[in-house]
Structure 1
């Protein structure tokens, strides 16, 4: 494992339009504020939204908290991601299972984001896509909590 400087982290959800781009944006801003030089990216297990921007509801919720998702463009996970990234962090068990199959025994083993970031409850990051606006605001708070845990973990070494 490399030192915390130069680490690369990939966040993964289903469509790469809600949870993973949000976590990427929060991690990008907060790691810069913490003085950590990280390579951060996000993708989805599905290709339905490839090339599209983040869900407008997530864009609004993130902007209200000071995070800019406007530049984001969705992409699907690639087998090369497992060798290009130090950590591949899934938002939920369904996406984790897909990643484990896609990995084909090569590269880094994916894991769940929230437990990896020392968040004990919930274990899976709920998908706000089919819910109300409140779910998107809750997602921002959960992303911040997870990223705070991620940064604490990196500082511990």
Structure 2
């Protein structure tokens, strides 16, 4: 059973912390280790973006204790599953894969194929925080069903 899951986006202030918070909300009974990271170091140590926190809070997901960190090669040893929010970040993750690391890396939308979405749009740019949370909640329920 997968017990250690890492969500990864670009800055670790919108999509990946939201996915972390949503999956925590959906799986308090499963004893999972859930974290998030960004492929860039732009926001290290910062809390999730205010509008994303507010949108998540309205749905009962508290992101306030989360802080941005950067993805690193050691994450392949620390996690059983690494979940990328889009293809660009998936490629950045794979570029850091150490030789012999067998950790599974998937797109988050793989867990919600019925949506027809190939990636989780970045609400920092689109401003559609609720639409992104709809997709994240849907994909998180799909991920939970595989655990």
Bucket of the pairwise TM-score, normalised by the shorter protein: over 0.9
* 1:1-52 residue CA offsets vs partner (Å, 9 max, x unmatched): xx35xx10000000000000000000001011xx211100000000000000
1:109: how far off? 3.8
Question: Equivalent residues in 2 for 1:98-109 (5 A)?
Answer: 98-107=92-101, 108-109=103-104
- CA, structure 1 residues 42+106, in 2 after alignment: closer, same or farther (shift >3 Å)? farther
Equivalent pair of 1:44/1:76 in contact (CA under 8 Å):
yes
Question: Equivalent residues in 2 for 1:1-157 (5 A)?
Answer: 3-4=1-2, 7-32=3-28, 35-107=29-101, 108-115=103-110, 117-120=111-114, 121-132=116-127, 135-154=128-147
SS in 1 for 2:36: strand
Length, aligned pairs only: 145
Give the TM-score of the pair, scaled to structure 2. Answer: 0.94
Greater CA deviation, 64-73 or 101-110?
101-110
Q: Quote the RMSD (CA, aligned, Å).
A: 1.2
Which blocks of at least 5 consecutive residues in structure 2 are unaligned?
Answer: none
